[in-house]
C-alpha cells in the first residue's frame, strides 16, 4: 500500500549504500536536550530519524531504551510533547518515524494521534505491540492521515504471515533480526542473511534491519542484504552518557558506503 508521499520508501531504499536510521527517545535525557540531540542527529547524514514516544511498559525494548523511556517519563514527557518534538525535528527536513506502543495511542485517541502526527510532518509510525491481525481501525486512521504504517517481521514469522505483513506494511518493512528485545549485541545473529532474503521475496518495499545492530562492522555485513539498518540502543547509550551521538553515527555511515 502506498501513501501519497512515499517519503520513507524513497529515503530508505539502498542505492549501493546502506541507509541508516537512528533512534532516539523523545524527552531523553530531558525535553530540552532531546531537541538539541535530535537536531544534531537530523542533520548527521542519516536517512530517517526514528523517535520513540516513551511508554511505561515497553515490551520490545531492552534495558538501555527502557531506561531512556523511564527517564523521559520522570521528566514529564507526554504523547503531546513528543509530537511537538517530532514537529520541530521534521522541520529539519528529515523523514520522521514514530515508534510507540498501542496503549498511549489508544489513550490519546488513535484518530487524533494520526491527525496530530500528520500535522507534525511525521512520515510513518511503528507500533510493535499492534499485530497485523488486530491493526484496524488504528492502521486505517494512520493511512487516512497519509502516514506509513510499518509492520515488523521476525525470525519466528511464518512465510505465509510474512507475505501478509509485507502486503500491509507501507514505507518499509521492519525486519527484527533477533528473537528478543532491543539492545546492542556484539555479533549479528546467524540466519539473519536468510531471513532478509526471505523478506525480500515478499516485498518491493525497502527492508530495514533492526534490534542488536550497533557497530560499523554490522553495517558492512548488512550492505547488499538490507536496504537500511536501524541503530537504537547504541545511540541512546551515547545520549545517556551526555556524549554527542553523531560521532558514532559518522562511524556507522562510513561503514554504510
Partner 1 sequence: MLHGAYSYLLQDGDGQILNTHSVSAGLDYPGVGPEHSFLRDLERVDYVAVGDKDAVAAFKLCTRLEGIMPALEPSHALHQAGVIARELGPGGRILVCLSGRGDKDMDSVEAQGPVEN
Provide, rounded to whole angstroms, the least separation between the CB of residue 133 and partner 1.
12
Angle, CA of 89, 110 and 51, to the nearest 5°: 25
Q: Which stretch binds partner 1 (CB under 8 A): 3-11, 54-62, 155-163, 211-219?
A: 54-62
227 catalytic per annotation: no
Q: How far is the CB of 106 from partner 1 (least distance, A)?
A: 6
- Residue window 157-186: x/- pattern of binding to partner 1, with contact defined by CB under 8 A: ------------------------------
Indicate which single residue of 83, 105, 166, 176 sits in contact with partner 1 (rule: CB under 8 A).
Answer: 105
Contact 236, 25 (CB under 8 A): yes
Q: How far is CA 57 from CA 22, 92, 132, 196, in A?
A: 22, 30, 20, 29
- Show contacts with partner 1 in window 79-98 (CB under 8 A): 79
Nine-digit cell string for 58: 515497553
Lookup: cell for 105: 495511542
Residue 59 binds to partner 1 (criterion: CB under 8 A): yes
3-state helix, strand, coil in the chain (%, to 5): 45, 15, 40
- For the bound state, the minimum distance from the C-beta of residue 180 to partner 1, rounded and expressed in Å, comes to 17
Exposure class string for 108-138: b at 16+ Cβ within 10 A, else e: bebeebbebbbebbbbbbbbbebebeebeeb
Q: Applying CB under 8 A, which of residues 57, 74, 204, 217 lies at the interface with partner 1?
A: 57
**For residue 5, what are the CA distances in angstroms to 11, 87, 134, 192, 207?**
11, 17, 25, 30, 18
Q: How far is the CB of 143 from partner 1 (least distance, A)?
A: 20
Active-site option among 61, 116, 148, 240 = 61
Minimum distance of partner 1 from residue 151's CB (angstroms): 16
Active-site position among 4, 9, 50, 74:
50
Cβ atoms of 138 and 108 within 8 Å: the answer is no
Annotated active-site residue 61? The verdict is: yes
- Whether 44 contacts 37, CB under 8 Å: no
136 binds partner 1 (CB under 8 A): no
Given the rule CB under 8 A, which residues bind partner 1?
55-57, 59, 73, 78-79, 102-108, 129
Catalytic residue numbers? 50, 61
Amino acid at each position: 500500500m502506498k501513501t501519497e508521499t512515499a517519503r520513507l520508501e524513497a529515503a530508505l531504499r539502498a542505492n549501493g549504500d546502506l541507509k541508516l536510521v537512528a533512534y532516539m527517545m523523545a524527552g531523553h535525557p530531558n525535553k530540552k536536550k532531546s531537541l538539541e540531540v535530535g537536531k544534531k542527529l537530523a542533520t548527521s547524514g542519516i536517512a530517517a530519524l526514528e523517535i520513540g514516544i516513551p511508554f511505561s511498559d515497553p515490551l520490545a525494548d531492552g534495558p538501555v531504551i527502557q531506561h531512556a523511556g523511564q527517564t523521559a517519563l520522570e521528566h514529564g514527557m507526554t504523547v503531546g510533547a513528543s509530537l511537538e518534538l517530532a514537529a520541530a525535528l521534521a522541520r529539519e527536513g528529515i523523514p520522521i518515524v514514530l515508534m510507540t506502543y498501542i496503549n498511549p495511542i489508544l489513550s490519546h485517541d488513535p484518530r487524533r494521534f494520526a491527525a496530530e502526527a500528520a500535522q507534525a510532518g511525521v512520515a510513518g509510525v511503528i507500533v510493535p505491540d499492534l499485530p497485523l491481525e488486530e491493526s484496524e481501525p488504528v492502521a486505517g486512521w494512520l493511512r487516512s492521515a497519509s502516514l506509513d504504517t510499518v509492520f515488523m517481521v521476525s525470525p519466528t514469522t511464518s512465510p505465509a504471515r510474512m507475505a501478509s505483513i509485507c502486503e500491509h506494511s507501507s514505507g518499509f518493512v521492519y525486519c527484527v533480526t533477533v528473537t528478543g528485545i532491543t539492545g546492542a549485541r556484539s555479533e549479528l545473529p546467524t540466519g539473519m542473511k536468510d531471513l532478509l532474503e526471505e523478506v525480500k521475496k515478499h516485498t518491493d518495499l525497502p527492508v530495514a534491519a533492526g534490534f542488536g545492530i550497533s557497530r560499523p562492522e554490522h553495517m558492512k555485513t548488512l550492505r547488499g542484504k538490507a536496504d537500511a539498518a536501524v541503530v537504537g540502543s547504541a545511540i541512546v547509550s551515547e545520549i545517556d552518557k551526555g556524549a554527542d551521538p553523531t560521532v558514532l553515527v559518522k562511524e556507522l555511515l562510513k561503514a554504510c558506503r
